[in-house]
Structure 1
């Protein structure tokens, strides 16, 4: 029986620490990641792919900031920026996968879907936005921009300046998820909900874009649940999840249950800006019918015993 897997690509799948973010660098990173993804395809998995967009949407915002300063161009809202990066990143992944499939003489179609994800406009996170985006500004610049358009800025704790912050609401609905499910069941590789999805909310019968970013692991977990995926993979830059990370008694986790993962969260073993959102996304999938979630790096895909498995 063919298994269905959802794979959420981390930021390092596209842009790695210390890199400048050139097109050539990102394309090579995508190439390496796609080579690993094809391990699952060669094992006859049906595949749905989600991906991050943090560095890329940050670059878009930098470009817009430069255009605003030099040419007085209109800055685009966050939902538009997410849509833009969904297209560009999806293109890189799709083209690379097609080329690698041809080399291996594997017959699969690959399709990228520009994906809206519905959130609740009354989500409490809108009242306290915490997700930093875009460039750093001086206090004076931040105050002027906040007065001009109502944006909220917070000071960087490392002293780099002030950055705009937006909400990161909980994803509720993946638009066109039934089409994703059908395409994947037919053997097509589907790239969807990139960057966590384009944030929208419902206003009666209309969809309205909103200034927010959605956690891509949680959006991918929701996708995995809605399409009935057997397995969910969250790719990051470490081969396993660790407790007592970078301490003398550091321990890699092989297989843990939901109860064990919850205990580690209570013990604050996972940091908010790193592993905690991934473990929470894994728990969401497994609690809602998923058989197992694997958190690992791309090189461990398809490797027996690779990564950390979270099971019911």
Structure 2
């Protein structure tokens, strides 16, 4: 079993704290991403070890290779940090040069989110799995790095955690990809009187549907890509329903063969 996690609020708050300390050059986002991996990984590791004392729990700092020429660097879309009202967002944009976009009725900072190409520590993760470790890795989508002639170098970005999780699942040949969130399923017509949950669906049908690019969209894309390439199953739903989602009893189950859209 491999556990990955997000870091959007944490890396945004670290960036805010970082910029407030004028005597030190601000750390770049790759360093803050690594810092958040250690912080969140430690908390998850301790909680799991206390609950499963006989199980080996390992946290692995994970780098993920991206393309330095990815067009995402010209169009920041990844939300990080806390929410602000419009006046606060405008003030911070003027003061710090950050980019903000609307997130529902509020505003949040956005940063580049390039496509993940390769999990650098793939072999180490597989080695830990082979020794029956529960591995916590790839936090926040991984630390973004680019490969140059002299090796890897960090780059200012935050990789989408869902797309990176799907890439990791593919590289380690996982049987299933389970994305747990605050929604109990994937919904059609979200926010409308006609909204309804999807119970089971194929990747092909899922790709034809429209979802919010800032929240459910990456999760749906990640699951569809994983199932298409690996012929495994993927699920999306509530944190409390993990086992039931994979059994097709709750949430949304994505698999290659299903009779039709079960909504």
Kindly report the root-mean-square deviation, in angstroms, between the aligned alpha carbons of the 2 structures: 2.1
Q: 1:308 to 1:155 in 2, by over 3 A?
A: closer
Q: Say if 2:24 is the partner of 1:73.
A: yes
Q: 1:63 to 1:252 in 2, by over 3 A?
A: same
Residues 168 and 212, structure 1, Cα contact 8 Å, conserved in 2: yes
Residues 189 and 195, structure 2, Cα contact 8 Å, conserved in 1: yes
User: How far is the alpha carbon of 1:252 from its aligned partner?
Assistant: 1.2
Q: Say if 2:143 is the partner of 1:206.
A: no
2:202 matched residue in structure 1 = 257
SS at match of 1:213: coil
What is the 5 A alignment of 1:34-45? Answer: none
User: How far is the alpha carbon of 1:205 from its aligned partner?
Assistant: 3.7
Residues 171 and 219, structure 1, Cα contact 8 Å, conserved in 2: yes
Q: TM-score, normalised by structure 1?
A: 0.74
2:175 matched residue in structure 1 = 230
Residue ranges of structure 1 left out of the alignment (5+ in a row): 1-46, 147-152
For each residue in 1:38-61, what CA deviation from the matched residue of structure 2 results, as whole angstroms up to 9, or x when unmatched? Answer: xxxxxxxxx101100011112211
Q: Following the alignment from structure 1 to structure 2, what is the Cα–Cα distance between the partners of residues 133 and 258?
A: 28
User: How far is the alpha carbon of 1:131 from its aligned partner?
Assistant: 2.9
Q: Say if 2:240 is the partner of 1:293.
A: no
Task: Give the aligned length.
Answer: 248
User: How far is the alpha carbon of 1:142 from its aligned partner?
Assistant: 3.9
Q: Say if 2:67 is the partner of 1:120.
A: yes
1:7 matched residue in structure 2 = none
Residue ranges of structure 2 left out of the alignment (5+ in a row): 257-263
Q: TM-score, normalised by structure 2?
A: 0.87
2:162 matched residue in structure 1 = 217
Q: Say if 2:46 is the partner of 1:95.
A: yes
SS at match of 1:190: strand
Q: 1:244 to 1:197 in 2, by over 3 A?
A: same
